[in-house]
Amino acid sequence: MRACIPLVLAVLCGLAWAEDHKESEPLPQPEEETEEALASNLYSAPTSCQGRCYEAFDKHHQCHCNARCQEFGNCCKDFESLCSDHEGFSHSSDAITKEEIQSISEKIYRADTNKAQKEDIILNSQNCISPSETRDQRDRCPKPLFTYVNEKLFSKPTYAAFINLLNNYQRATGHGEHFSAQELAEQDAFLREIMKTAVMKELYSFLHHQNRYGSKQEFIDDLKNMWFGLYSRGNEEGDSSGFEHVFSGEVKKGKVTGFHNWIRFYLEEKEGLVDYYSHIYDGPWDSYPDVLAMQFTWDGYYKEVGSAFIGSSPEFEFALYSLCFIARPGKVCPLSLGGYPLAVRTYTWDKSTYGNGKKYIATAYIVSSA
């Protein structure tokens, strides 16, 4: 797979505020700030490090976010808050560094033995558009994105447990979620299955060594609260969760939000509910998992820019997003996968918390590969 725009400009789901943004304006929701702002901001001279941490130096930028900007005194004003190497749950001496995050992400990448092989998926990515065209809502791809998927993948325990979760949610925000005993059991089953994998064993070992969790059960309990704990995105109490938003997808104010999972996309496309429109980015990986940033409709609701791993196992995505939320909550998280840099952005849900003031995950998505 190859990028259809230069990698230095390949930003999947997030950039700085538009230059004419006024500080007095109310803060938008995470996806309104990032995904919908992409087209209008991509070619402007950014004044923030949002989605730009440790990018290559570009003399045309008004301020900089490269590794030496502090040395030259030309960093953007939010460089320290967004790009600091020593952040995470605390600013203590055991904080997780950028190098440690990149090292563990490479280990997780190598451990994903449940991922799709080249012969398991045939994509038809078709028409690549410029970021300025993402708001046109034009269907430029007459054929489905997935030409073929080897559905034997879905019989693997983690895939099967993941798929069982996808029909447990009402996609419209503002309608409270109420889980049955079976649905709660399916959450536990998913966590139980992924914790058997090398991917999640690598993640837990790393976080345990980093003094984030004292036992595996503490880690599992925290993941359940973090991802499946309910909070309110609309008027209804408990109408959303991190898992629902990121993996299953939601509809808010007539637009698709979240929905960053290839398995969900394939299953919905197969049922005729997803219509693939175009893409703006096709990642540099020559095997799975890869990355695609695309436009599509979901049962008539439009998604302007949706980034997703393609061909990854459920535990791989769950591990990387959890790593970034734990190590860089609410910030850009620098990863490395197969020697290629990748950044993921997470957002915390600040309106409600669980045990000891911990925050729920609001969203997590791929920011850039440049």
Of the listed ranges 14-23, 100-109, 225-234, 284-293, the least confidently predicted one is: 14-23
Q: Residues 37-56: what's their mean pLDDT?
A: 60
| pLDDT tens column, 57-116 | 878 788 988 877 876 788 888 887 777 644 444 434 458 999 999 999 999 999 999 999
Strands laid side by side in the 301-310 sheet = 250-252, 255-257, 301-310, 290-298, 274-282
Residue 350's SS3 state is strand
Q: Can you give the pLDDT at residue 119?
A: 97
Specify whether the CB–CB gap between 112 and 313 falls below 8 A.
Answer: yes
Q: SS3 for 155?
A: helix
Across 32-41, average pLDDT? 43
Kindly tell me the sign of the dihedral angle through the C-alpha atoms of 350, 351, 357, 363: negative
User: For 9-18, 32-41, 281-290, which range has the lowest pLDDT when averaged over its residues?
Assistant: 9-18
CATH code, residues 46-88: 4.10.410.20
* Closest alpha carbon to 100 in 354, 347, 336, 367: 336
Give the angle 159-285-79 at the CA atoms, nearest 5°.
100
Angle, CA 226 vertex, CA 225 and CA 227 arms, to 5°: 95
- The band of 211, judged by pLDDT with boundaries at 50, 70 and 90, is very high
Domain boundaries, the chain: 46-88, 98-367
Q: What percent of the chain has pLDDT over 90?
A: 64
What does the pLDDT read at residue 93? 43
Q: Known catalytic residue: 303?
A: yes
Q: Catalytic one among 61, 303, 331, 359?
A: 303
Joined together, the tokens standing for residue 184 give 């709660």
> In sequence order, what DSSP letters do the residues of 81-126 get, joined into one string?
HHH-SS-SS-SSTTPPPHHHHHHHHHHHHHH-TTSPPGGGEEE---
pLDDT of residue 2: 44
Q: Which of 260, 279, 331, 359 is catalytic?
A: 260
At residue 324 the predicted structure's pLDDT band, cuts being 50, 70 and 90, is very high
Query: Model confidence at 227, in pLDDT bands (50, 70, 90)?
Result: very high
10 Å Cβ neighbour count for 341?
Answer: 17
Q: What angle do CA 172, 240, 279 make, to 5 degrees?
A: 65
Model pLDDT for residues 157-192, shown as the tens digit of each residue: 999 999 999 999 989 888 888 899 999 999 999 999
- CB 247, CB 264: distance < 8 Å: yes
Tokens read off for 42: 């991509």
* Tokens matching residue 54: 């440790």
> Which residue in 245, 279, 331, 359 is the catalytic one?
245
Rg of the chain over all Cα atoms, to the nearest angstrom:
19
Q: Is the pLDDT of residue 23 over 50?
A: no
* Residue 304 phi, psi dihedral angles, 5° rounding: -70, -45
Residue 44 has pLDDT above 70, yes or no: no
